[in-house]
C-alpha cells in the first residue's frame, strides 16, 4: 500500500463540524417522527375524556394538555332529568367512558364504553312514544342500578332492547298510548 492510498481511505471517514450538525439534526428529526407516529394511544400529551356518573347519569367532559386539566364541563342527561331533585343530592361516582388522544380518533374500550350511547338510545325510545314521568324515573333508576350492580354497562343493553320492543308493541295499535310503570320490562340480571 502506498501513502497516497492510506490518505485517501483516511479522509473518507473524516466528518466536518458542519456535516456533524446536519446529521445530528436529521437524526433528531427521524427519532421525533418515529416517536410521534408510534406513540401508544394512552400517551396523554393532549387528550379529552368522557366520564359517566353511574349514580345520577350525568356526563363529564374533561380536556387535558400536558397532563394538566384545562377544562371540565358536566352535563345533565335525560336520566338525570328523569330523576329530578333526587339526582342532585347524590355523591358522584365517575367512571371513564372514553379517551381521545392527539391524532387518534378512536378510544380504548372501558367497561362503561357504551354508557353514553345507551343514554341516547333511551332518549330515542322516549321520543317514539310518550312515557309517564313515573315510568321515565323507573327506567332511569333501573339503568343506574344495573350499572352499579354489574360494574359495567353491558347488562343494560338487554334492558334497552326489551324497552324498545315493549314500546313497539304498545304503539303498534295506538301511537298515542302512554307507557306506564306497569308496561316496563323487568330488570333481569343476565
* Interior angle at CA 51, CA 60 and CA 97, nearest 5: 145
Q: Same domain, yes or no, for 140 and 73?
A: yes
Q: Same domain, yes or no, for 71 and 18?
A: no
Q: Same domain, yes or no, for 146 and 170?
A: yes
Residues in Cβ contact with 117 at an 8 Å cutoff, skipping those fewer than 6 apart: none
Q: Same domain, yes or no, for 76 and 156?
A: yes
Q: Is residue 57 part of a domain?
A: yes
Domain count, the chain: 2
pLDDT tens for 138-159 read 999 999 999 999 999 999 999 9
Q: Same domain, yes or no, for 13 and 96?
A: no
Q: Assign 3-class secondary structure to 105-127.
A: CCCCCCCCCCHHHHHHHHHHHHH
Query: Looking at the whole model, is its pTM more than 0.75?
Result: no
Confidence check: pLDDT of 9 > 60: no
Domain that holds residue 70: 46-183
Q: Is residue 188 part of a domain?
A: no
pLDDT of the residue at 88: 83
Q: Same domain, yes or no, for 68 and 117?
A: yes
Amino acid at each position: 500500500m502506498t501513502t497516497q492510498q492510506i490518505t485517501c481511505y483516511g479522509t473518507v471517514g473524516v466528518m466536518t463540524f458542519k456535516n456533524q450538525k446536519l446529521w445530528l439534526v436529521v437524526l433528531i428529526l427521524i427519532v421525533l417522527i418515529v416517536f410521534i407516529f408510534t406513540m401508544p394511544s394512552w400517551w396523554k400529551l393532549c387528550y379529552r375524556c368522557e366520564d359517566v356518573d353511574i349514580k345520577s347519569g350525568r356526563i363529564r367532559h374533561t380536556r387535558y394538555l400536558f397532563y394538566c386539566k384545562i377544562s371540565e364541563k358536566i352535563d345533565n342527561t335525560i336520566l338525570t332529568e328523569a330523576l329530578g331533585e333526587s339526582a342532585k343530592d347524590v355523591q358522584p361516582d365517575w367512571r371513564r367512558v372514553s379517551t381521545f388522544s392527539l391524532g387518534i380518533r378512536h378510544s380504548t374500550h372501558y367497561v362503561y364504553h357504551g354508557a353514553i350511547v345507551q343514554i341516547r338510545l333511551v332518549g330515542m325510545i322516549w321520543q317514539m312514544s310518550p312515557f309517564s314521568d313515573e315510568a321515565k324515573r323507573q327506567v332511569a333508576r333501573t339503568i343506574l342500578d344495573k350499572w352499579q350492580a354489574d360494574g359495567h354497562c353491558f347488562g343494560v343493553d338487554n334492558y334497552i332492547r326489551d324497552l324498545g320492543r315493549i314500546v313497539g308493541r304498545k304503539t303498534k295499535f295506538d301511537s298515542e298510548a302512554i307507557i306506564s310503570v306497569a308496561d316496563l320490562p323487568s330488570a333481569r340480571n343476565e
